[in-house]
Structure 1
Amino acid sequence: MMALQPGQDGSKPRHISVLRDEAVDALAPVDGGVYIDGTFGAGGYSRAILDMADAHVIGIDRDVEAVAGAATLVDQAGGRLMVVEGRFGDLKSIVQELGVDRVDGVVLDVGVSSMQLDTAERGFSFRFDGPLDMRMGREGPSAADLVNELAEKDLASLIRALGEERRANAVAKAVVAERANGRIESTAQLARICEAVIGRIPDQIHPATRTFQALRIAVNDELGELLRALFAAEEVLSPGGRLAVVSFHSLEDRIVKTFLAERSRTTPNVSRHAPATFAATPTFVPIVRSATPGEEEMARNPRARSARLRAAERTDAAARGAGDPMAYGVPQLSALAAFMERA
């Protein structure tokens, strides 16, 4: 695990944290508290926590460039901030490795950062021509590997399930036809394929949006990471500790909503198709059931338009541990899982 120490060179932040004030208010930082910023990015949430209380923050990011870019804020924090390279789904093991025995809050800003989107060579965006990569941590198969090597039906299933693209079959068919002429290696090439299939409609999202989203989620296992982070937060949070999650599309938000609803349920699960089951003791109490950005924030930061915040407070009930991903809305794509494991 790489940890950023004061004195290392870093770059200036370019990412605007969405719903920052609302998320940090939900955490309610206190002096002496320990907080985890599980998606550090440019440090917007970490900076706000440090400004609000004389607390300590552990920032986590799987992108080595984000870790290196944290140097200035680490120096300014005077020993109250540590930034480590890692996945937020592993936050329990990170906390254990650091010897932290109390966590008072966890904040997650799920999805891709503006720094990644705005860097052409990272291959996240169809707005720039760059290599079809999309890997946050630079390890494992790239988006190009999936596009060029998955069978047509498996590629269609991926685009449909993770991108919610209605024309998934047509896009996959066009991709397979194109790759017969040689590997698809650039973002511009894939964007042109999507546009030829779906067409451009004024005032609508770009026709490649959902396909790019699906590939990015698949390459980085974003939904699996999110669910593992929620399970881990339940394990590490002290009683009274708080969890705040900002999501950006329906797949992410469905997982967060389902997890918090299931973990905070106090009534039995009653179904006419099965015997009633008594609810386990809640491990969370809702604080913010759903919050969205105001008009001013959306005007200032277009990325905020689809954002949603949910937050809850940890009770003193024992953590329940991990559960079946499908029960929380994580699509299970066996061909994708086999490909990623094989690669």
Structure 2
Amino acid sequence: GVVELALANSQPWDTETPPDKTFAVTVEAVNEWSGADASITVGAADNGQTVAILPGNVLLVALEGAERSMWDLVQSDPMVAQILGGAWVFPAEQEGMQLFKYYFLGAGPGTAELQFAFTNPDGSIAEESFTVNVTVPAAEPGSSGAINATEADAGGAFALVTGDTLVVRLAANPSTGYTWRVVSTNDVLLPAAGDPVFAESADMPGAGGVDTFRFLAKGAGEATVQIGEFAPGAEEPVRMLDYNVTIVDPAPLTGNTVTVTDDDAGTAIAVAAGDWLAVELDANPSTGYQWLVTANDGAVLRLLPESGFTASAEMPGAPGTQRFVFRALTSGTVALEVGEFPPGATEPDKTLEFAVTVE
């Protein structure tokens, strides 16, 4: 269905004065709800196993225990799988039992080991534990308007399009008294989108975690974000991280689509800013082989959700066409690469290269 979400910026006690700011967005749900509250759910039967979730997807760890018992997260890596929160459910059909639900966001890329310890109702620590390894692959280049950065990227240059978000994730531990703070940014072009959010790595006093800062690209131009680390009680940072950002406005859509196939690999492809570029390749997901974008510049060519596989016939295992659709946002050159990956492989056995110029 379709719903309009409307927000108003006003004083909560003033119900008569019109708000000075409003925001509205229309959201259309194109698929029926699956009934699940996470992309993947794991439980006791998955102890010691490895699961993979895509960036932005949610993993649910659901573990049972008696009333007044507790499952605690004792180890994780928020840089890879960031905890979103937890819930304790008392199933009506299982009297005297409760279900512990922990939700993790695929942040990645990388692999994280999630460890949980069990506390008995009498307060003793059980020998029983639960461990699951979570692998989050890298997102396809240019597939998202969220540009991720870490401490290792400080001093680098980032290209954003208006409407994109710069996401800076930094290792932190508030129990030490040290804090990360935004020292400066361009509040017109790249304002901070709210306060930083801390995600802990464990349900333990003194546990470290990750601070996440978000900055919204609101106008074309150049801006530098400075984030400083402050010692307890200090007014000046002990060190500073700089992130240099160039923001451009996307070209308006032209309504034109340029389509290429594997026959065009190795050739020069020209599109106009505002065009769509469609890469169409023969595929058959039932074989386990899959095509993935392996190189792209998302500030010039943005991979769109209109991408996908279309079968040639309505029958299980039918071959078809894998279509990657890109919007040409602004002028530039892109060395676009699409790789074909065998089942379970981390490297493609075949790569197609397209030299794309956006004019």
**Structure showing greater Rg:** 2
Instruction: Compare relative contact order (CA 8 Å, sep 6+) and give the higher one, 1 or 2.
Output: 1
Relative to its length, the structure with more helix (as a share) is 1
TM-score normalized with structure 1 length: 0.26
